[in-house]
């Protein structure tokens, strides 16, 4: 059974950095793209970005472009979300999710449990 | 970016009745070379991760009850929930995966009347 387990998160001051991790198991990790999706308090789901199966392509939402970076290590079955220059509006529950395929042109079928990031002074 | 617009924003339906949620994309998400609509529906309950219900606009995910169905093509899509059950209370989202950014609709909150 595919599983994604997230770690990281917490409280951080505006302008600082934080790194979230997503560890996969139960499937061939190197065959699947991984998405990051967030939900701010009281708001809907917002797609944050994606890394393709081999790490060669990455795409980001305009709201995080230039500040967030997604990376993956297929040997360790992990994907990281490096968040720099954090803003109060980045406060949200962050989810990693498996793309059913390798390149983002498929639905997200397995999701991590979510991790809360609070950006506050 | 492709903008996804759902209606209504909230909906109250009696147990056993039908709920209908619509989703409109600002441009077509139908890929003509394979005749597939790159559109998914998710169910999201508080404290849980979202759950995939429907993909390719009308294909039900394994394990999803058959009272959930999706329809539509191009720019207009519908999620229908027949015989509403108490456990269906949730927020429902459509999402396009035709082109990055893979945008979501704003969500529709479904409650019991």
Please tell me the predicted confidence (pLDDT) of residue A55.
95
Contact list in B for residue A105 (CB cut-off 8 A) is 38, 97-98
Calpha distance B2→B97 (Å, rounded): 10
**Residue A2: its pLDDT value, please?**
97
CB–CB contact B49 A112 (8 Å): yes
Q: How far apart are the first and last CA of chain A?
A: 40
Nearest-angstrom CA–CA distance, B31 and B36: 6
> A46 at the B interface (CB within 8 A)?
yes
Query: Rounded to whole angstroms, how far apart are CA atoms A50 and A62?
Result: 13
User: Cis omega (within 30 of 0) on the bond before B8?
Assistant: yes
Q: What local confidence, expressed as pLDDT, does residue B72 receive?
A: 98
10-residue averages of pLDDT along chain A (121 residues)? 96 98 97 98 98 96 98 98 98 98 94 98 94
Q: Note whether A62 contacts B: Cβ–Cβ < 8 A.
A: yes
CB B106 within 8 A of CB B5: yes
Chain A positions touching B105 (Cβ under 8 A) are 44
Residues of chain A in contact with residue B51, where contact means CB-CB under 8 angstroms, are 111
Residues, chain A: 121
B44 → chain A, closest CA residue: A45
User: What's the CA gap between B48 and A3, in Å, rounded?
Assistant: 14
pLDDT of residue B62: 97
DSSP character string of chain A: --EEEEE--EEE-TT--EEEEEEEESS-GGG--EEEEEE-TT--EEEEEEE-TTSS-EEE-TTTTTTEEEEEETTTTEEEEEE-S--GGG-EEEEEEEESSSSS-S-EEEE---EEEEE--
DSSP 8-state secondary structure symbol assigned to residue B99: S
Q: How high is the pLDDT of residue B9?
A: 98
Low-confidence residues of chain B: pLDDT under 70:
none
């Amino acid at each position: 059974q595919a599983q994604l387990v997230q770690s990281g998160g917490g409280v951080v001051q505006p302008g600082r950095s934080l790194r979230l991790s997503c560890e996969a198991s139960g499937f061939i990790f190197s065959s699947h793209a991984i998405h990051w999706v967030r939900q701010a308090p009281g708001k809907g789901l917002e797609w944050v970005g994606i890394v393709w199966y081999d790490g060669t392509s990455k795409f980001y939402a305009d709201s995080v472009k230039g500040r967030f970076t997604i990376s993956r290590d297929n040997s360790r079955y992990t994907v990281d979300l490096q968040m720099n220059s954090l803003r109060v509006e980045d406060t949200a529950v962050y989810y990693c999710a498996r793309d059913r395929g390798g390149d983002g042109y498929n639905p997200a079928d397995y999701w991590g449990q979510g991790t809360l990031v609070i950006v506050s002074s | 970016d492709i903008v996804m617009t759902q209606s209504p924003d909230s909906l109250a339906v009696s147990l056993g009745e039908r709920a209908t949620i619509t989703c409109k994309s600002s441009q077509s998400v139908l890929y003509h070379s394979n005749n597939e609509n790159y559109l998914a529906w998710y169910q999201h309950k508080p404290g849980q991760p979202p759950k995939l219900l429907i993909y390719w606009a009308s294909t039900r995910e394994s394990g999803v009850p058959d009272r959930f169905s999706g329809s539509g093509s191009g720019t207009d899509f519908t999620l229908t929930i027949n015989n509403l059950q108490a456990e269906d209370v949730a927020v429902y989202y459509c999402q396009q995966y035709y082109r990055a950014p893979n945008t979501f609709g704003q969500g529709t909150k479904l409650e019991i009347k």
